[in-house]
Amino acid sequence: MFTIETVTPQAPIAHAIIRSYMFELASRYYGRPATPTEVDQAIRDEPYDDLTGPTGVLLIATEDGNPIACAGARFAGDIAELTKVFTEPESRGRGWGKRLLLQIEDVCRARGVHVVRLDTRSDLVEARALYEGLGFARVEAFNADAYAEVWYSKSL
């Protein structure tokens, strides 16, 4: 059975999928499997504890109770910034990323958000294709994140 649910960042299921996400990001960055210490550092460098309540949201897709994908958004007035968009490699190509992002957009509209934006790395080609397929347009840099190489925005 497949579900998408809103979870708190403190939920064990959130920790599991975010750890998997950070393992993949760090491994791609280093060009080799990341060590547990490197994954721990990546999580400290990119906290997600604010993806709840008035400051954000975290959605997780599950299959038979196991996390297979996630997407989050941070809220700042009428702008939301996407973060932690990830699908487990074995679950890719089944539309989970698209479903999660469309649901994030619905949450954003309900909160009065008019613009969704994000930054990403250029080597995350699957993610970039997903964003562009959902109508996100490349824009000029709106932050100085050390790992950001490509910026996107979408009006809701």
Per-residue pLDDT of the chain (156 residues; tens, 9 = 90+): 899 999 999 999 999 999 999 999 999 999 999 999 999 999 999 999 999 999 999 999 999 999 999 999 999 999 999 999 999 999 999 999 999 999 999 999 999 999 999 999 998 998 999 999 999 999 999 999 888 999 999 999
DSSP state of 108: H
* Rounded-to-10 torsion of CA 153, 5, 125, 27: 120
- From its phi and psi, is residue 33 left (phi > 0), alpha (psi between -120 and 50) or beta? beta
